[in-house]
C-alpha cells in the first residue's frame, strides 16, 4: 500500500517509515517543510508538502492522491500553545478523515493517547485539557466516520530503544512505551484486517508486536 503519513516528520513517523518499507509498503510523508525531504528519502519515504493548518481541500486531496491508507500521527507538540491543540491535533485529524472519505481511501489508523476519555482532575492545566479534548474528540469523529479505522492509544511516549514487545488491549493501566514500538504497532495493524473498528491502549509489555496485534484482534 501507499500510506499517507500525516505528521510525516514527527517522532513516531520517523520510526514508522522504514518499518512500512520493510513490510512492503510505500510511506508518503506529509510535511510542512521541503528541507525534510533528504532525511525522509533516506528512510524510504516519498515526501509531499502539506500545511495541516493552512491547506485548502484541493491541497489535501493532492497530498493524499494515490494512497490506499492513512496514518494520522500529527500533533501540535509540547509548545504550550492551546490553539494548536485544536488546529493540529483535532482539526488536522478531522481534515484527514474528510479527505480520506472524499477520495475513497478506506483504511485509517490514528495515534491518540491513553485515557483521554477519563475525567480530568479539577486542577488540570489549560494546555493539557485542550490536548486531551482534541484527542478525545478526534477519536470520536473517526469512530463515527465511514472509514475502516483503528485507534491506537499509547501511554507516555519515551525515546528509549524499541523492544518489539508490548501490551495491547482495549484498556490497560497507564505506563510508558517507546516511540519505536508505537510505530511498529501502527505498521502491524495496517496489515491486520481484524484490527479494523478497534480501539486499543498500548504500553510496554512482554508480547511480540505482531502476536499482540493478532491476539488483540481475536
Active-site residue among 64, 108, 131, 200?
Answer: 131
Is pTM beyond 0.75? Reply is yes
Dump pLDDT digits (tens) for 83-140: 888 999 999 999 999 999 999 999 999 999 999 999 999 888 998 899 999 999 999 9
Domain ranges of the chain: 2-217
Q: Rounded to whole angstroms, how far apart are CA atoms 138 and 62?
A: 22
Dump pLDDT digits (tens) for 2-56: 999 999 999 999 999 999 999 999 999 999 999 999 999 999 999 999 999 999 9
Q: Is 131 tagged catalytic?
A: yes
**CATH class of the domain at 2-217:** alpha beta
- The Cβ-side half-sphere exposure at 181, using a 13 Å CA radius, reads 30
Contacts 24+ apart (CB under 8 A), 189-194: 189/109, 189/150, 189/152, 189/213, 190/1, 190/3, 190/20, 190/23, 190/25, 190/69, 190/71, 190/107, 190/109, 191/23, 192/217, 194/218
Dump pLDDT digits (tens) for 68-78: 999 999 987 66
> Which sign, positive or negative, has the C-alpha torsion 165, 169, 175, 180?
positive
Amino acid at each position: 500500500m501507499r500510506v499517507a503519513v500525516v505528521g510525516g516528520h514527527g517522532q513516531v513517523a520517523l520510526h514508522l517509515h522504514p518499518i512500512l518499507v520493510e513490510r512492503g509498503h510505500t510511506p508518503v510523508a506529509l510535511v510542512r517543510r521541503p528541507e525534510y525531504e533528504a532525511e525522509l528519502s533516506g528512510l524510504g519515504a516519498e515526501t509531499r508538502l502539506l500545511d495541516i493548518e493552512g491547506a485548502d481541500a484541493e491541497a489535501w486531496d493532492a497530498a493524499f492522491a494515490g494512497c490506499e491508507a492513512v496514518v494520522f500521527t500529527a500533533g501540535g507538540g509540547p509548545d504550550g500553545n492551546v490553539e494548536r491543540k485544536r488546529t493540529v491535533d483535532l482539526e488536522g485529524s478531522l481534515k484527514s478523515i474528510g479527505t480520506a472519505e472524499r477520495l475513497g481511501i478506506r483504511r485509517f489508523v490514528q495515534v491518540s493517547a491513553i485515557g483521554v476519555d477519563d475525567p480530568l482532575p479539577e486542577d488540570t492545566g489549560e494546555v493539557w485539557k485542550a490536548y486531551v479534548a482534541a484527542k478525545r474528540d478526534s477519536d470520536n469523529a473517526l469512530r463515527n466516520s465511514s472509514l475502516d479505522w483503528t485507534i491506537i492509544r499509547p501511554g507516555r511516549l519515551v525515546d528509549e530503544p524499541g523492544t518489539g514487545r508490548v501490551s495491547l488491549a482495549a484498556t490497560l493501566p497507564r505506563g510508558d512505551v517507546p516511540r519505536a514500538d508505537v510505530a511498529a504497532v501502527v505498521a502491524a495493524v495496517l496489515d491486520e484486517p481484524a484490527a479494523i473498528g478497534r480501539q486499543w491502549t498500548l504500553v510496554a509489555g512482554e508480547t511480540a508486536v505482531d502476536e499482540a496485534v493478532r491476539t488483540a484482534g481475536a
